[in-house]
Copies of this chain bind each other. A is one copy, B any other.
Amino acid sequence: MDKSPEVLLELVERLGNLLRSEFRRAGADEQLQPVHVHALVYLTRANRYSNTPQAMAAYLGLTKGTMSQSLLLLDRRGLIERYQDDLDRRVVRLRLSTSGEQFLYDAQPQGAWQHATRNISPNRIRNAVSALRETLTTFQADSEGQPFGTCSGCRHFERLSARAYRCGLMGDRLSGPEARKICWLYEEKGGGGETDEE
């Protein structure tokens, strides 16, 4: 009878609540809701496959309709820019505007977290990361399926040379920084995504 998983759940929930409050505080000056702040933070971490309303909605756990509303607001405030995709004119691409970046720089929504983890040894953090990452993977596989992850851990990720990368699924070349961002097409490495069992 080990209660550890429950305790872990409780910690994640509680930290989630606190983070949410922190986002609320950070957005208060600009009259932004927590979810808006979260959206802006997401944009700093999204690559070319995940900077669309749809991906963002999936990441934040909202419907596309709701997402559309929030993006409208952020656009009105000049914190983001929306532009059309060249190839598929249905899709909208998103980008932080200069004042959006400025806002994040000023409000430091993640500052409290940085501060709270400052005294924890890198090793323990890495252990925690590893356990949570596995939880996340299973969670995503179970529930809905829309996975997110950074390119560098993806099965489609290919290394062309020392500093040139490529996404094998889309065929695009990727810069180093971009390979460290969040991708929507992420698939776990060693198989498991293509089993036929239903």
Contacts and interface: CB of A to CB of B under 8 A. Distances in A.
A72 interface: no
18 contacts: A4-B122, A4-B126, A5-B117, A8-B117, A10-B45, A14-B59, A14-B136, A14-B148, A16-B19, A18-B143, A22-B143, A112-B142, A115-B142, A117-B135, A117-B138, A124-B127, A127-B127, A127-B131
Contacts of A59: 14, 17
A191 to B, nearest CB: 16
Contacts of A126: 4
Contacts of A21: 61, 143
A23 B138 CA distance: 18
Given A22-B143, A59-B17, A113-B139, A122 B11 contact: no
Interface in A108-132: 110, 112-120, 122, 124-132
Contact of A131 (B120, B135, B143): B120
Given A9-B110, A11-B132, 9 more contacts: A8-B129, A10-B45, A12-B12, A12-B15, A13-B16, A13-B19, A18-B61, A112-B143, A115-B142
A92 to B, nearest CB: 22
A101 to B, nearest CB: 17
A14 to B, nearest CB: 6
Contacts of A15: 12, 16, 132, 135-136, 139
Given A12-B16, A61-B18, A132 B139 contact: no
A86 interface: no
A187 to B, nearest CB: 17
B16 A122 contact: no
A128 B5 CA distance: 10
Given A9-B110, A18-B139, A20-B61, A131 B128 contact: yes
